[in-house]
A and B are shown apart, each in its own frame.
Chain A
Amino acid sequence: MKNPFSLPSVRRRWGGWAAGLAALVLLTSCELFEFSPNQTHTPEAYRDLTRKNLEALLARPNPLGDDSLRFVFISDSQRFYDEAAAFVRSVNQQPGVAFVALGGDVSDFGLVREMRWVHDRLRHLNVPYLTVIGNHDHVANGRQAYQNVYGPLNYSFTYAGTRFICLDTNGREYGFNGRVPDVDWLRAQLADSAGVTQQVVLCHVPPEDADFDPQLQAPYVQALGEAPMLALHLNGHRHSFGISNPFELHVPFINSYGFEKRQYVMLTMGRTGGFRLQTVPY
């Protein structure tokens, strides 16, 4: 009998395994190979979407010219993938929309794969979309997943003379540690009015909600009240549409629909103040 450990024999015997192993290493880039649903790593196409969408937005002229600014506002896409596809079809038929604002809870379980599923649908929008983090996006490793897929938890941008201030208000997810929302950061953004005619705050949990850090409710509301250019306060979390003024400020608070309600809000802001609100079923 031939020596089973002779080199050619070993090569024959293990060559196949080695080739298989090499193929395996090549396949590690394959999405199916998942280390944990909580892994935060994501392919380049699903990274830094806030920055990419802002670049796309700022490169586009305002579809309504200098007169006004129109955007779509919706929230809580969590686990509503069928609805997300229908939403995209509807928004793509709306004239004059500059972008879509998504008021948090992109995901339900804070999983990076959920954020990819949402982006796989919303990337078919004809306009960029911008998000703010919701409480569900904080779950498990979600905070890091959101930062990898979208970007900073607090950020602002100016488009068509309007400053949008997007911030993390999910105080309960931090155990009400007295630091979220970052009121100092909010104040600084509201105070910076260079080249801006009005301001909009976009967040997930509104200050009147039980999930908002109670220690920060008064300073937060005070910061909003002291911002003369602030035109709208937009939030998600409650899944049902509402417009109210719970703190009797100069600013209306607008709750958006969740995706499952198959309706969204379309806001058209005048350059010199005032806005038109439409609710659109899809």
Chain B
Amino acid sequence: MRRFFSVCGGLLGSVLLAPPPGAAAQTAAPADTLPARRWHAPHHLVGQFAGGQGLITAGVGYRLNRNRLDLDLLAGYVPRRYSITPMGIFTAKATFMPWTVPLGPRGWAVRPLALGGYLSYTASKGLNATQDGKYPSGYYWWSAHGRVGGFLGGRIAYPLPAKRPGAAPRLVSLYYELGTNDLYLASWWGNPRGLSPLDVATLGVGLKLDL
């Protein structure tokens, strides 16, 4: 990473006045050294299994806050076998990982703690809505379509060979999320003895691949 920035800095330092290194790489790198990366170009691809966000979920994400915060946008699918009609689950997720622990010389690294939250919307023709014209207002307090969830997790990352010499290594990481959602939490809230935290827990695992 540092080598990458020093190369860019050497090339561009005389042209731009104290640019932030990322911005320099994005805006002014000559076409033959680095492809221009648009501000909205995602930083990684995501594929996930379960975790309340679909049987199979795919999406893109961004790294912020010096790689400690991931923001991911995901689309999940649950086939008809598990539903009345197939479900599409659209999730916006934030994951905060305060620490990185390097593992040995090959570049493996563990992020032992991840704290996250998500908002999701489930689209499915067969889903019986809770807040439509069938009911007087306030009949049910929750939405059948919208969910809010939170999770604890972690990940392990391995660096792939960089696309070109001197470029930042791309990481492929395997992560897990042990989470719950608003409806499970509401159930647990009223029954702290009757339900254990594991009763209301969901598990998801996924892969992220840096672009």
Contacts and interface: CB of A to CB of B under 8 A. Distances in A.
Interface of A: 4, 17, 20, 24, 28, 30, 32-41, 79-82, 84-85, 108-111, 113-114, 117, 121, 138-144, 172-173, 175-176
Query: Which secondary structure dominates where chain B touches chain A?
Result: loop
B52 A37 contact: yes
B153 interface: no
Contacts of A30: 203
Contact of B126 (A37, A141, A176): A141
Interface string B175-211: 0001001011011001101110011011111000000
Given A37-B181, A141-B127, A32 B202 contact: yes
Given A24-B49, A30-B203, A34-B52, A81 B126 contact: no
Interface string B56-75: 00000000000000000000
B184 A41 contact: no
Interface stretch (B10-18, B21-29, B81-89): B81-89
6 contacts: A35-B54, A35-B82, A39-B82, A109-B183, A141-B128, A144-B83
Interface stretch (B1-9, B94-102, B130-138, B162-170): B130-138
Interface of B: 49-55, 76, 78, 81-84, 87, 89, 122, 124, 126-128, 130, 133-135, 140, 142, 144, 147, 161, 174, 178, 181, 183-184, 186-187, 190-191, 193-195, 198-199, 201-205
Nearest first, the 10 closest Cβ-Cβ pairs linking A and B are A81-B194, A140-B144, A32-B203, A33-B50, A82-B194, A81-B191, A34-B202, A39-B82, A35-B55, A41-B82
A33 B203 contact: yes
B201 A32 contact: yes
